[in-house]
Structure 1
Amino acid sequence: MRLGGYARISLDKDGEELGVERQRRDYRQVAGVRPGWEVARDYIDNDVSAFKRNVVRPEFERLLTDLQSGVMDGVIAYDLDRLARQPRDLERLIDVFEDRPELVFCTVTNDIDLSTSDGRTMARVMVAFANKASADTGRRVARKHRELADAGKNGGGFPPFGWKADRVTVDPEQAELITKAHDALLAGTRLSTITAEWQEKGIRTSRNTGKPITRVALKGILTNPRLAGFRAVKGQKHIGLDGKPVLGVWEPICTPETLDAVVAVLEGVKSQYKANNLSNNHKYLLSGILRCAECGTRMIANMRSSWKEGSKGSRFMYRCPATKDGGCGKVSRAGEPLDQHIVNLIHEAEARLKAPASEPAEWPGAARLADVEQEISELISAMNGKRISAATAIAMLEPLEQERDELGYERNRHTVEQMKTTAATVDLPEEFERLPIERQRAVVMKHIKAIVVHPAGRGARKFNPDLLDVVWAA
């Protein structure tokens, strides 16, 4: 009898798989004393819940498939609740045993035969009780977490990135990484660029799974409300009974204004680039900034197929695209000398316009936003205290919340634009070279609206700056 051994544990904080290994050892020992039984394959779902309805257990799914197809002659597990804590999962398993009554079923802790009516009934009762126990535990845990959140205290799980194991003291190295990433995002650097930099440095999340950090994980780190000192529940600021966000007992890493601006950037605040149809998702410095003098179409860049390592020619070309939607395809220019010429012009412009740094302009709506947030807080507090009805409070809250969201959007946009303006100023050519391409483009577009490229004529090979019309920003 070729049996599939199934082991599962809901939480494995250290990732050492000790719990599932104990289960595997026990069910293999039981199978070893049964004549003719062999555990042909282990199906292990480590650190996976069987109670949460939205969780897919890959090894459980594979076990069902192998039982249905006849690859396995039965299943052995430590206990029934390792296999199923949701009645619907049990019913799927029972369907397989009804289709194939010759299948073997065994657990270490008790004997249940899913091929018989009595065994299936007993299994349904046991899973129902296990499901209720999980639900009761979930309610108690949720209530406990709510109490901790209301008090601004830490919950369970792994220490959040940016803090030490006590969850209160800031980790200086991780905090510096977060601060630099925030500054880069607000200055126009793409999240994917920062993700690649963290991966290159070997930075891991607090779970330390050994895998490179992902874009999704990095976004979660950089938008965590606790960075600004707020207690978070499921990634959102926790609102207390007084209608205000609850502050935590830990040291913050950034200001609320910075966090809101970062969230706005990652959620897609409209910027000057999008308003001008100049997406910042470019690999080349002047893509979309150059325009063909013959037809006015924005020029694009691509690598030269004939370029070879060690050759003196430019690796890429800017071209007017010949497409059905526009573009004559008549104008092209070697990319590297053109880029270098424009960079030199930018540095000259920076030197001429260099002025003492001024304080960032204050956002004029700050006072009104504070008043609106205070009014919202007072209304929620009055509703919770039964001083006004819920219907009255909701009717008064809706216009205030709409105004708060609009003001918040304007504040975030103001912050982002201030950061972009600051970041678009560089002191040295060496510093410019170290910037990611999106930041370099921001510096260029601070000074230049467009560059019109005229045809070079037949046989022209030497770069001629006189064939460029630079349209400077006001």
Structure 2
Amino acid sequence: MAVRLGGYARISLDKDGQELGVDRQRSDYRQVAGVRPGWIAARDYIDNDISAFKRNVVRPEFEKLLVDLQTGVLDGVIAYDLDRLARQPRDLERLIDVFEDRPELVFCTVTNDIDLSTSDGRTMARVMVAFANKASADTGRRVARKHRELADAGKNAGGFPPFGWKDDRVTVDPAQAELITQAHDALLAGTRLSTITAEWQKLGIRTSRNTGKPITRVALKGILTNPRLAGFRTVKGQKHIGEDGKPVMGVWEPICTPDKLDAVVAVLADVNSRYKTNNLSNNHKYLLSGILRCAECGTRMIANMRSSWKEGSKGSRFTYRCPAAKDGGCGKVSRAGEPLDEHIIALIHDAETRLKAPTPGPVEWPGAVRLIEVEESISDLISAMNSGTLKARTVIAMLEPLEKERDELEYERNRHAVEQIKTSAATVELSEEFERLPIERQRAVIAKHIKAIVVNPAGRGARKFNPDLLEVVWAAY
């Protein structure tokens, strides 16, 4: 009778994603199974690039293996070594529980044989996993200490090269840096992160890990808000603070300025905050939604696709309308969407002299001097604590109000920077660029120069678009 075994292979780090390590393990345990009479490696359970030591990591294939052993799908397990299966005692105990419930199960490794169905075998396995766990913990401490030294010196650690830099993690990759710069500019000008994500996906942009999957919104946000872009050394995604209480600067070439990075972070934080608190996404599909107002009741008009419209048919695909009474409007005013959009775009083009009025220069943020003073005070206190001049308890008590003030000042500075950058970024060469902008950028340009467009009723039976029924409320310059 055949003995159906589940083969398990695992490797903690596979930088290139080629699975060479787990392939070698699979080849070895299949060779061992092949020389045992009746043994068959019926199914492979592969956890590639997954740690068995980190307590918060779930190994999907290991979990499936336990279930299949418990339910009788398998007659045993074979692996290259015990430490491939378990480096945490609790994982070993879960495996032992299965073998105690089903003592007929077979257990085999390439490097040595341990019988988990016997007391001696379980004891030996526990000792081996305990030593392997200690070895991992010791290695982790040494690696953490080394990473701390590298971070304090502003040097790179291991891992994949971050997006924006070449393999040496010091030299900027021009193509990737240009993508980041363009994305920053677009965000500050009002483009949604989801729009930029779609553009990167269309271009086939991948992360440094190059998993082969399209880049996600979360991954793109991580790239665009990485403190490393402004030259800061990071630890677990946060700025690393040195013994002098100041952020440590890295040895690599920066891609943007700290002020610009802060502005980008502030924009994304503001968008997320508004989305969560107001359940708003600002995801407008139509150019003039919310800008148009009904002349009868003053309500903002919305857009709807016409259900009767078909590809190739005449007439507008969508209409702008005042919401019905149950939705807060009067429902009395509507207008064909496409001719109205075309009219407003033409109106903006014709009014270039008005839109190109001189833009005021940058306004200096009044809190700049105070922020420098607060940051220097924080740095002095941390230095005093590290040198032993002041006790930690005293320093912490003094730091709390200073850190609160610093955070408030930084928020004000970032919001000021966002407004300054948005003011300059919203200026475009309308005759050449407007039609190529994403919808949110087009809306931002219109909203900068037009406060509202009041739409008067067209009258019963009127079908032809009449621009005289529109009242454009221009913004003051």
The answer, yes or no, to whether TM exceeds 0.5 is: yes
**Within 5 Å, which residues of 2 pair with 1:378-457?**
378-457=380-459
CA offsets per residue over residues 365-400 of structure 1, 9 Å max, x none?
212111111111111111111111112211211111
2:251 corresponds to 1:252: no
Give secondary structure in 1 for the equivalent of 2:78.
Answer: strand
Deviates more, 1:374-383 or 1:340-349: 340-349
Cα deviation for residue 70 of structure 1 reads 1.4
In 1, the alpha carbon distance for the partners of 2:111 and 2:325 equals 71
* Structure 1 residue aligned with 2:39: 37
Deviates more, 1:343-352 or 1:402-411: 343-352
2:126 corresponds to 1:124: yes
Cα deviation for residue 52 of structure 1 reads 1.0
* Structure 2 residue aligned with 1:321: 323
Gaps of 5+ in 1: none
In 2, the alpha carbon distance for the partners of 1:266 and 1:40 equals 49
In 2, the alpha carbon distance for the partners of 1:48 and 1:391 equals 41
Letter in 2 for 1:220: G
* Structure 1 residue aligned with 2:23: 21
* Structure 2 residue aligned with 1:109: 111
In 2, the alpha carbon distance for the partners of 1:448 and 1:410 equals 27
In 1, the alpha carbon distance for the partners of 2:44 and 2:468 equals 73
Letter in 2 for 1:316: F
In 1, the alpha carbon distance for the partners of 2:274 and 2:112 equals 67
CA offsets per residue over residues 432-452 of structure 1, 9 Å max, x none?
111111111111111222222
Give secondary structure in 2 for the equivalent of 1:55.
Answer: coil
In 2, the alpha carbon distance for the partners of 1:288 and 1:105 equals 68
Deviates more, 1:269-278 or 1:322-331: 269-278
In 1, the alpha carbon distance for the partners of 2:437 and 2:278 equals 23
Give secondary structure in 2 for the equivalent of 1:451.
Answer: strand
Alignment size in residue pairs: 474
Give secondary structure in 2 for the equivalent of 1:268.
Answer: helix
Letter in 1 for 2:196: I
For the 8 Å contact 2:355–2:449, the answer to whether it is kept is: no
In 2, the alpha carbon distance for the partners of 1:471 and 1:275 equals 30
Give secondary structure in 2 for the equivalent of 1:324.
Answer: helix
Deviates more, 1:415-424 or 1:153-162: 415-424
**Within 5 Å, which residues of 2 pair with 1:30-69?**
30-69=32-71
User: Residues 271 and 332 of structure 1: is their aligned pair in 2 closer, same or farther, counting only changes over 3 Å?
Assistant: farther
For the 8 Å contact 1:187–1:416, the answer to whether it is kept is: no
For the 8 Å contact 1:290–1:453, the answer to whether it is kept is: yes
Cα deviation for residue 231 of structure 1 reads 0.5
Structure 1 segments, 4+ long, off by >4 Å, are: 269-279
In 2, the alpha carbon distance for the partners of 1:277 and 1:101 equals 56
* Structure 2 residue aligned with 1:80: 82
In 1, the alpha carbon distance for the partners of 2:107 and 2:346 equals 76
In 2, the alpha carbon distance for the partners of 1:154 and 1:273 equals 36
User: Residues 72 and 357 of structure 1: is their aligned pair in 2 closer, same or farther, counting only changes over 3 Å?
Assistant: same
In 2, the alpha carbon distance for the partners of 1:287 and 1:15 equals 46
* Structure 2 residue aligned with 1:312: 314
CA offsets per residue over residues 216-275 of structure 1, 9 Å max, x none?
111111111111111000000000000000011111111111111111111126999999
CA offsets per residue over residues 10-64 of structure 1, 9 Å max, x none?
0001111110000000000110011111011111111111111111111111111
For the 8 Å contact 1:273–1:279, the answer to whether it is kept is: yes
User: Residues 54 and 277 of structure 1: is their aligned pair in 2 closer, same or farther, counting only changes over 3 Å?
Assistant: closer
Deviates more, 1:34-43 or 1:449-458: 449-458
In 2, the alpha carbon distance for the partners of 1:271 and 1:132 equals 44
* Structure 1 residue aligned with 2:142: 140
Cα deviation for residue 180 of structure 1 reads 0.8
Letter in 2 for 1:355: A
For the 8 Å contact 1:449–1:473, the answer to whether it is kept is: yes
User: Residues 292 and 389 of structure 1: is their aligned pair in 2 closer, same or farther, counting only changes over 3 Å?
Assistant: same
Give secondary structure in 1 for the equivalent of 2:326.
Answer: coil
Give secondary structure in 2 for the equivalent of 1:401.
Answer: helix
In 2, the alpha carbon distance for the partners of 1:121 and 1:276 equals 58
- Over the matched positions of the two proteins, sequence identity in percent amounts to 87
CA offsets per residue over residues 395-436 of structure 1, 9 Å max, x none?
211111111111111111111111211122222233011111
* Structure 2 residue aligned with 1:331: 333
For the 8 Å contact 1:8–1:20, the answer to whether it is kept is: yes
Give secondary structure in 1 for the equivalent of 2:213.
Answer: coil
2:9 corresponds to 1:7: yes
Q: 2:178 aligns with which of 161, 176, 189?
A: 176
* Structure 2 residue aligned with 1:341: 343
With structure 1 as the length reference, what TM-score do the two structures score?
Answer: 0.95
User: Residues 436 and 245 of structure 1: is their aligned pair in 2 closer, same or farther, counting only changes over 3 Å?
Assistant: same
For the 8 Å contact 1:376–1:397, the answer to whether it is kept is: yes
In 2, the alpha carbon distance for the partners of 1:227 and 1:29 equals 49
CA-based RMSD: 2.1
Deviates more, 1:265-274 or 1:450-459: 265-274
User: Residues 123 and 191 of structure 1: is their aligned pair in 2 closer, same or farther, counting only changes over 3 Å?
Assistant: same
User: Residues 415 and 70 of structure 1: is their aligned pair in 2 closer, same or farther, counting only changes over 3 Å?
Assistant: same
Deviates more, 1:253-262 or 1:99-108: 99-108
For the 8 Å contact 2:352–2:430, the answer to whether it is kept is: no
In 2, the alpha carbon distance for the partners of 1:49 and 1:406 equals 40
Deviates more, 1:339-348 or 1:38-47: 339-348
Give secondary structure in 2 for the equivalent of 1:450.
Answer: strand
Letter in 1 for 2:44: D
